[in-house]
Structure formats: structure tokens, C-alpha cells
Structure 1
């Protein structure tokens, strides 16, 4: 099974037009991007750098040390840049949490990092009259691989209908540096964290499974046609089912 290739020129034009219309409709004057130095946020930044008459602000939010890649990206595409190192903010929050809990619960701490980042992005969007750009792709959205109200929060999601493999294709068309394209994907929530380890498979495998599901193929057909272990197919379907709440608005008790 092969993921369909996109027409990069068409997709670029479509996304830029989409962003410009949404910003104009909102009455804002620009966009703010959480610039991690990873593939997805870099592609969104490259696209936003092509916007006409709109202010673009890239904000790097590393936990401990400065993000060299994010700085270089902002400089290369000539957008405004700001960096906020989070360790002092996180230290302040952690002082109200029992130390043994703070040290042991890696997932909760990682989610706190993601939500702190988004709080700061929305603060800067408020004071600059900007929209917050989502940088998540279709692959991550399908399996719920994002933090609810963290990196999953945004005003618009420009690349939300592109598989990760298609984002890479678009990146090459936009002339994103090869070291960014080949960089090991990570949310940067803790030391040594990688997308592949968290998801349990690489994005090429994940994308083939999701594409097969969207084509209406059976579990066995997806596994056989893509030479993928059937257990991985079942795992992706389970992740999708278990994360429905992340993709939907909170339910309301109707009276």
C-alpha cells in the first residue's frame, strides 16, 4: 500500500489561501507559531512566511537549553522570533507538587509542559492580535498523539489533513533544510522522548494503516497488503477509539 503523493504546489497555495482567509475573518493581524525545530512546525513556519501583509511570530519554548534549530529557521525565513526557556516556570509550578509525584509521573509532567507552552502561545497571540497556528498532522490527530489543551489546542490547523509522510514531501518542495526533514521526531516533553517509541511504530507504518482504514479495508487486508503485523493495525484502531475525547468538544449535560 502506498500513501498518495500530494501536489506540493497546489497544497502550498491552498494552505496559504486558507490561513489568509481565516486570519482576515478573525480580524487578527498575524499568526504565532510554536517553533520547535521539528518538521511539522518548520513546515507551518515556512508556509506562514509566504503570507501577504501578515505578521508572523515564531516562539521557541524549550524546557532547559536554547533551541538552535528554531533560531536558525526563523532567521532563514525572516520571521520575528522569541525564545522562552521554561525551566523557571516549571520549577515554580513543581514547588506546589510533592517531589516524589513530580519525579515519577513522566506523562503528567510532559502534559504540563505541553499545556504551559500553549498558554504562552495564547498569551502572545492575545497581546499581538494573532491566531495560534496548530502544527499537528493528520497521522497524530487520528491516534490522539497530542496533549489535550496542549499542542492539540490551536485556532487553525493548516497541515491537519496531511499525513506525516506527506508533510515530509511538502517540506522538500518548500526547501526545508534536510537536517530538519531527517531529524528524529519528538515532542520534546522529556529527555530521550521520541514519537516512534511513544507510538510504537514509525510514521511510514502508521500512515499506511490509517490510509488503509480510510479506504475501508479490513484489518487483515491492511496487514497483508502493507506487510505489517496485524497486531499493529489493531493497536492503531484501539488508539483511535481510546482518544475520541481528544478530538471532540467536551460533552454538555443538556437540560
Structure 2
């Protein structure tokens, strides 16, 4: 990958899209992870207004400190970047008092994790509307089009996706070229939606390099029987997530009414 040319291409694409849309810039949720760090830096390089928002909900301290380090560095480098913090923990806790908890604990935990992401999406769109900004998505190609590792109408609810055609390994390449803080480059990927130390790999069962491999094999038309041992396991994990999350990756189905009715 020609990293610098890819960076220039994305920055120009962002700037052109925002200009044509008649908006003043972008709003981005900053998590302390590599995807939001790279996306916010790319947006900052457009010269348009960039609002970085911290939205903690019982957030791990390591995530908070990395997010704050990145925002401070970004504001030091770019005078078009501003930030704010919206603590959504009280909102989340109040939400829990108004719903009932029925079913298995794992199902409840997942529903609440997705609720966190949707509260953050609502917050981003509030500020987007307030300041005439676009919500910039932070999903990469493996998450958005491989395993569907995001929340529908949560972190998947965005106006545009600058890095969604980049594999996770390529996002790291851009991160290094964009001088993203070492603490973020070296951090274990985690969505932080459960308020504990579980990583993306803990949840999925495979690492991003493994998932990139499986995504490539699937694109080449390979099948389960083409592999053995760990490769079979990884390929099966990829296919299971890909099939289960198709509803996130394809357009919403529309019931088309026959013309004779």
C-alpha cells in the first residue's frame, strides 16, 4: 500500500464530500483505539472543523487515558480541532431503571452493550446537528464487511466511512504514518462496550490478522475442507460471524408491493 498517497486520497475525499454537502466539518467519537485515532487525524488534515467527543460509560481507565492523550496531541497539531466530553454513564444507568431484564444474562449483557453504542450515536448526531457537521464512522473493512463487528444503528450509524475500505493492518500502517500515539498503536483492540478488559479477540475468537486471512480466503472461494486445524477453526469463526451479521451489511429489506395490487 502506498501509505502517503492513500492518506492524501482519503483526506481529499473527506474534504470534497463535506464541501459538496455544505457542512462545516466532522464530529467523531474518540475511544482510545486505533480506528478512531486514525479517522480523526484524517479528518483534521482536511482543515475543516473537527469535534472530538469522549463519551464514557463505565469506561476502563486505560481507554480514557489513551483517548485524552490522542485528543491533546491532535489539538496541539491542528488548530481546527476542538473537543468535548459527554459522560453518558448517568444516562445509561437511568435507562436501565426503565427497562426489564428477561432471559439469559449473556443476552442481557449484549443488549446493554449495544445500548451503550446507540447512546453514543445519539450524542454524536446531537452535536452534528448543533454545529452542522457530519458524523465520521470509524469502522474498518474487516469489522464492517467481514465479521460485522459493530452495533447496528450504534457505531454503524454514521454519515460517511473514511477507513471502511482498509483492513485493520492497513489502518495501523496509516496510524504510524499519521503519528498516532504509541500507546494507541500498541494497545490491544477492544470495543470497550462491556466495561471490562475483554478484547475484540476475546469476543470473536480470532485475531485481526487471522480474520483478514479468512476474509481473503472467502473472497477466493475457498471452503472449510480446504484447511486444517487452526485454519479451519478461524475460517469457521469468520463464516459464522459473516453469516449471522449479514443483516448489518446489506441494505434494509423492503417489501415491494406488486404493481397489480
| SS of residue paired to 2:134 | strand
Q: Does 1:241 align with 2:235?
A: no
Between the aligned partners of 2:22 and 2:207, the Cα distance in structure 1 is: 40
Structure 1 residue 199, shift from structure 2 partner: 0.9
Between the aligned partners of 1:85 and 1:101, the Cα distance in structure 2 is: 29
Corresponding residue number in structure 2 for 1:112 = 115
Asked whether the equivalents of residues 59 and 83 of structure 1 are also in contact (C-alpha less than 8 Å), the reply is yes
- Pick the aligned partner of 1:72 from 69, 73, 87: 69
Corresponding residue number in structure 2 for 1:132 = 135
- Pick the aligned partner of 2:173 from 169, 172, 180: 169
Provide structure 1 residue ranges, at least 5 long, that are not aligned to the other structure. Answer: 1-5
Corresponding residue number in structure 2 for 1:3 = none
Mapping of residues 4-153 of structure 1, within 5 Å: 6-52=1-47, 54-64=48-58, 67-78=64-75, 79-98=81-100, 105-141=108-144, 142-153=146-157
Provide structure 2 residue ranges, at least 5 long, that are not aligned to the other structure. Answer: 76-80
Give me the TM-score of the superposition, normalised by structure 2.
0.88
Corresponding residue number in structure 2 for 1:185 = 189
| SS of residue paired to 1:145 | coil
Structure 1 residue 159, shift from structure 2 partner: 0.4
Give me the TM-score of the superposition, normalised by structure 1.
0.90
Root-mean-square deviation (CA, aligned residues, Å) is 1.9
Mapping of residues 218-237 of structure 1, within 5 Å: 218-221=223-226, 223=227, 228-237=230-239
Q: Give CA-to-partner distance per residue, 1:185-214, whole Å, 9 cap, x none.
A: 111111223100111011111111112222
